[in-house]
Structure 1
Amino acid sequence: MKTYETVTEALQDLRQRGFTRDFNMQFDCIQGADNNYKLHPQDFEIEETYRFEGNTNPADEDIVYAISAKDGTKGVLMHGYGVYSEDISADMIRKLGTK
C-alpha cells in the first residue's frame, strides 16, 4: 500500500487510479454526492485505507477509504474521527473497522 503525506495527495492518486466517485457517510450506508446512490455495508468493499492525524488540530484527523462497490463503482470516502465523528450504525462501524 502507498503512503501519502497529505489527504489531497491521497485523493489525487486514488482518483487517477479510478476511484472517482465521492461518497458521504450516512448512519447506515454511504451515499453518492448526488444523493441518488446508496451503498449499505454488504454492497461494498474497502480496498485501501489511509489515516491522517493533525499535528496540532484534532479537526484535521481524517481517514480516506478507497471503496469498490459490487456493481463496479469505485470512489472515495473521507471520514473524520475522534470527538467530531458522525453517529453511525454498528454494521457501518464493523465495515469501516475491517481495514
Structure 2
Amino acid sequence: MSEEKNDLDQTKQELENSIDPLTKLLVSDVFAKNNITEDKKRNLTEGQKQAILDMVQNLQKQANEFVERSNQKKLEALEKEKAEAQTKRRRRTTLRERVKQRKTDQE
C-alpha cells in the first residue's frame, strides 16, 4: 500500500512539474468562476486518481504521436520539394545539352 502511495505521490509530483502555467491558470479560473475553494473540493478515491492519471498519460502520448506525425509529414514534404527541385535542375541540364548538341550538329 505504501509503495503504491509513494508511486502515486511521485507520479503526482511529475505531473505537477510537467503541467504548463497556462493550464494551471485555466483550471484556477474555472474554479474561481464556479466559486470552488480548497475546502469545497471533494477528495477523489485512489481509483479515480489513477483513472485521471492514466487519461492524462494517454492524452500526452496521443499529443506526442500527433507532433511526431506532423513533423514527419513536414520532413517528407521538404524531401519531396528537394527531389522535385533536383529533377527540375536535371531537366534543365539535359535540355541545355540537347540545345548544344543541336547547334553542333547544324554546324
TM-score normalized by structure 2? Answer: 0.19
Rg larger in 1 or in 2? 2
Which protein, 1 or 2, shows the higher relative CO under an 8 Å CA cutoff with sep ≥ 6? 1
> Which one has a larger percent helix, Structure 1 or Structure 2?
2
> Which one has a larger percent strand, Structure 1 or Structure 2?
1
